[in-house]
Amino acid sequence: MVYELFSNKNENLITIFESLSFLFLSQLKSLKKIEKKLSPGKDTEPYLTAGLNLVTYLRTPGYGNLQIFGGARAGTNTISFGYSNDGPTADKEGRGENPRPIFRIQPKITIDGSL
């Protein structure tokens, strides 16, 4: 009788363990599917792109009470524009023998890639 009790308990424990392991594995498979869908670019090819950014800024004389900024993007290329009327009062470096230019252009090259 004792043997029968233990053998039934073992069979029940094995059944419970098998059902729990089945549930765990099915949940793990569904999590892997979700992770695969959400993972960014693991299935994509490596790439390397380059773009040109052009930053321009206009500073006219004034007291700095007007500032305008804007920009546009086309693919990997961007252009940014800024304006303020604080030309002579912007900083101390602009005063003196070599004043800062009223209009400034700064080109930048950007490189983006994935391995």
pLDDT digits (tens, 9 = 90+) for 32-87: 888 777 776 555 688 889 999 999 999 888 887 889 999 999 988 999 999 988 76
- Cα 99 to its chain centre, rounded Å, is 39
Residue 109 clears pLDDT 80, i.e. is over it: yes
Mean pLDDT over residues 14-24, rounded? 71
User: Residue 93 to residues 38, 86, 90, 99, 100: CA-CA distances in angstroms?
Assistant: 51, 13, 9, 7, 8
9: confidence class by pLDDT, cuts 50, 70, 90? low
Residue in the structure block whose two tokens are 């321009």: 56
**What's the confidence (pLDDT) of residue 65?**
85
What is this structure's pTM?
0.49
Higher pLDDT, 92 or 56: 56
As given in the structure block, the two tokens for residue 48 are 């390397």
pLDDT band of 1, cuts 50, 70, 90: very low
DSSP letter at 76? T
Task: Report which secondary-structure segment, H or E, holds 17.
Answer: helix 2-38
Count the helix, strand and coil residues of the chain and give each as a percent rounded to the nearest 5.
35, 35, 30
